[in-house]
Structure 1
Amino acid sequence: MAEGNTLVAICQYGGEFVTNSDGSMFYYGGEAHAVDVNRETLLDDLKSEITSVFGIDLSGMSMKYFLPNNRRTLISISSDKDLQRMVEFNLNVRNTEVYIVNKVDNRATRSTVADSGTSVIAVSDTGCGVRRKRVTNGGRMTRSRTRLDEASNLLASTNAAMNTVVEKEHIEDEKVDLRPIVANMGPPAVVAAANAVNVKDWRLTVGDQLDETATGNIQAEPSTPLFASLTTLDDVRPVNSNPVFGTTITGVGQEFDNVKDFRAQLCRYGLEKGFIYRFIKNETSRVTARCIGENCPWRIYASESSRKQKFIIKKMNHLHTCGGGNGKDGNRRASRQWLTGFIKEKLHESLQCKPKEIVKELYDIFGVNVSYSQVWRGREVAQREYINTIKETHNQLPWFCGRILETNPGSAVFHITSPDYKFQRFFVAFNASLHGFEHGCRPLLFLDRISLRSNTQYKLLSAVAVDGDDAVFPVAFALVEDESYNSWLWFLEHLRYALPTTTGSITFVSNRQKGLEEAIPQVFVDCHHCYCLHHLMEEFKEELKKGMWPQQVKDAMANDFTRAAQACTIDEFNSCIQNIRNISTDVADWVIASKPENWSDALFKGSRYDHFATNIMDSLNSWIPLKHESTIVQIVNSILCKLLEVMQLRKEVSSTWCSILTPATEQKLEKEIANARKLDVLCSSESVFEVRGNMVHVVNTGSWECTCRRWQVSGLPCMHAIAALNKIGRSVYDYCSKYFRADVYQMMYSVCVQPIPDIETVDTIDFAGEGNLFPMPVRRPPGRPRRKRINPNKPVTMQRLCSKCKEAGHNKATCEALL
């Protein structure tokens, strides 16, 4: 090993980061050991040596380091390339410091606090006390509590009877033992159909861990686990499934569906941390809040993104000097939505919780003063939502899954529910979408969350492709309890199972948030992951704010960054980076450390066909009407109806096309043909040509390649290739990718989604023919209740007569006699 290529890595563990006033950080405390590293060192070898030195498990840890002369931004080491890049950056100084910290959720904007994995300032834990013991309920039971008791008992008995009946029916029909499937298979659990027909709805119950309903018509081996990454049923549980006690505000870059969602999460965060805040600005497009403590620097600012589709935290100061709230005025920020969510959590623990107990617990834990009537009304709403959720899980979703498979055979539908009904997940990929992706779409998928405007209970994940006319083409959807690493992993594994086996290597485009950067290579091993350019640009602009450059200089560097992403050759990429380096070395180092092999065409190994961002999915936000966001059935049915409308319209329009390529592709090709007329072509051989313009490029028509790499990247001949093809008299259309042809486009939409005819009757469906599982809520009649009961058998002792006509049976006001 050459001595000049050796770097001394000072590995530190057990300390914490402290931020200076200028934004730089230093690390103090803990234990340090020196390790020799060079360009040939592998990441696994470094991890094993660190494990042996410190005696720790690195499975839940990450390694980070600072770039030379930059103590503000921590760089993660997650691959061999990252390790080699760290060695190259620090060879001049011959040593560097490597920090072993806990893993945290990566945000869109790299916050120094989030990246460090440690807390810079200790925040008060006023609202995180231990809950007191629940007092045994006594006294009279109200009508609503009696109704909940009946529902709970009926739920337990129905579950036992249903599992027995379904297991018996399934074993008789399919001749498959369910126990080996439960023991050996992780989700999605699908029983193999011997003759490739639709598998009947069935339910698995594994102790108290998980209830799963899976329906589909895809064949699989029942004795082999589909995905080794989820080996236990506990792996499908979310990290923070509790919406009340989980961490709601994490820092700069966090995204929310809308301003209402942000206000709700901010309310939970203030109650959780035990402090009171007030709004400085509270508008639909921007919100600014600060702590009411005297001279307390805690402050948060959030606003709409540039695309106006999501609400993003732009600035946040985590520091509290007031010691948190004292709980005196905590009810000022205790919203009705938060109170209902808290009571729903109490109902999950016990259906017999009393309002007076909830009032006392709210004050003991959060310091929130609410009245008895507020809790009573909140409990009525929470009970109704809880019963509706259980009713939907048992009555509607199994029926809905079966109807999807009956009307759209070949679709993939999976449903999973926790035993306490705190969360449930629903995956659907219609047969028409899978057929279209296999026969007409480029192997390119965009992953993102679609914002639901009113429903905050579920998060809608989606995988979307583009057709030959560059229009959005939905492939799969999933409704999950939260957007996290576990939920994305669950969605990707079901997506991999639903996609046709003929699908080759796929390129994924995402914003790499919420664990997507780790989940994609874990499920799709041989595929490529491209970072969304819009989110990268937002991070880049945040990095530019650290400098004191004028706006024109910042705009120039942003343009160079965009050109570096769109550059097709290494020389173009290096030229753009050098322009940035001429202005700021730190910014150029940040660009190099942001893994350009995942976002620049010059270094990216996959094919993204000139699609750099996930903004193509923004059009899907208007697919679901606001009034249809209350239940999973309504959301999925809205998507189905909109997909049916779009597919039929595109099928009718494409039948009138007379061109060889799609209209959007024809326009792109015409521009290249116009530019090709200005070029000179020299023949080197039958298939190799030298094309001269501003620069000299070599075109190989046999392998469909050009040294400018535009042909390889876009799938369409570049102007150099068109000039060479015109020179030898060949048709340009014969050298275009098949995905842009009109006949492939028409075959793609040859199969359409079929509607569910009786979806309006979903509310009246009785599971297993046993009637409604839960009694309908009984509303108290208006007015004050009677103090004395009416005895219908008591004889009438006095007969009242009309004072107008002296007849019995009515009074003067209702008398119709003519006098």
Structure 2
Amino acid sequence: MSDTLVKLLIRFGGWWEKNNEKWVYTSNEPGHRVKVLPTIQHSVLLSCVQSKCGIDPSYGITKLSYLYNGQQNQGSTSAGVPEIEDEGAEDEEDGDEEEESEEDDDAYCFEENDHDAEVDENHVLHLPGVDSDEEVVPETQPETQPESPPITSYAGRNDFFARPPLLPDVDSEPIVEEEHVPYARSRAISEADVFQTKQEMILALSLKFIEESFQFKVKRSSKTRYEAICIYDTHCQWRMTAVSVGSTGMFVVRSINDNHTCSRTQLHSSHRQANRRVLGHIIVPQLRDSSRTLRGKDIVTDIKRNLKVNISYWQAWRAKAAALCMINGSPAESFTRLPGYFYNLELHNPGTITRIRTDSERRFTMCFAAFGTSIRTFRRNLRPVVVIDGAHLKGRYLGTMFLAVGMDANNRCVPISFGVGRSENNETWTWFLSMFKECVGDIEGMVFISDRAPSIKYAIETVFPNSHHALCCRHLMMNVKARDKRVKHQKKMFWKTCRAYTAETFERRMLCLRAAIPDGASVLDELGPDKWSNAYFPGKRYNILTSNHAESVNAMSRFARKLPIVGLFDYFRESQQEWFSERRKVAGKKWNGGEMEWCSCKDTGANCQKEEDKVGKLDRA
């Protein structure tokens, strides 16, 4: 092996194309001339190329491609030589500059790609982490050798689940991507393919066999070697052997006979490779499709129809759980990511307040988050009426989500703060409202609307002693219905009684209720009209009689409450960003010469009069 330096001409930012039966690399970027040892490792060469071209190694995946010396010399012309940026004595041993034409340099071109290493039958390419002590380019090439495309070497993460497979070069119409993929596709496995880990290789092999309706079994498996054969080894010649690449943890396919000589089974009652991890990868694309709710029986049907494999309902359920973990992360790991997520929320959203509460052993008990935009909106623009409610979490770790919602001038929801705790009790609600008070302060005339939960009543009296607590009339009607079923025939009178603005009107309608549903009316009398009626309520509830705004947010987040805790808070962050952006655009359209157009009607005249009549009727009710 000679230690003579090899001159390389590096070009990047272009593409290969055939010109007059010759492969030509076209690029508008200046070239770089460097000299390297012929025994240079692939990883060292890759770092050198990235350094000379000023490319961040963490960005994408690097592809190195080159031509044979014989082809390079035959196809090169001085007209195609790019501008050269000489690196000087940095890459030379003797410091002497040789006056040679660029045609004598090996063309080594650099670009980005998303695929893995390949090995040509005549050349051994240095795979990541693999050393080589043989020269990869022969000194001479036969003159009759046919023109072939450039040889390509890749370096990067072999993540075939996140990237499309390598497509062949064709001269026909461009390939159009499918609009919907029913399940994850497998990838072709060939000799010299490199996998980041052993588990990644086994997963790729399992997907391939499930899709092709074959099964394999492991002949040998260790930290350095993996051998697999077809399950019908006495009748089938399919074999694969893979070995580890040094101490990198990567595995490379050393040999593979990909031809099956056994018969293909059309429908397996049970498949050896159909475990929850493999099935989870298969159904990930379907779970990402928000237009469809994927149930266990749907997974069973899809797997049977698409892959000809029978699985049980519990296999489907476990596969869905594994797929959700791949998409959203582990629920347990999500708690460890929560402090960092909250830190970034406060860093990038001015005014945001987050808190995490732990016990004496530093275990999670509660958390709280209020976005800065919501806090400022409530303090500056909204009425001091807050609807609070709780909802159960449905994920791996059960608990309760706490919620505080305000209403804008159009009675649309403005979520102010969110919290997560183990359950609804005096301690959790008191802590949540204490954090809420830290955000908005103690506003005079504050009104809270909620159901009859005693823990909410206790927390409001403790944290906001000067505020007013109103009961949700809808929940109240359900309590009355539990005492007297006849209330379903008196719903209209019940709501008229709740909405009455004067004591005289209230008493008149209350007499009607006592006569129609005496048992139900006794529930209302026990609570006292100051807790639920407009006529006797001591504060200003602005005709907001129910907690429907909080219930709407709870209903909207019914699927998000199945996510890990970071996913839940990120769902609310994304939702609020969309709401505020949309409402800002609508508000911007209503500005006319610097003044707000208060009329919401599409045209003036009759519509405005209808709105005034509606308000008049409401005042007279």
TM-score normalised over the length of structure 2: 0.43
- Structure number with bigger Rg: 2
More relative contact order in 1 or in 2 (CA 8 Å, sep 6+)?
1
TM-score by length of 1: 0.33
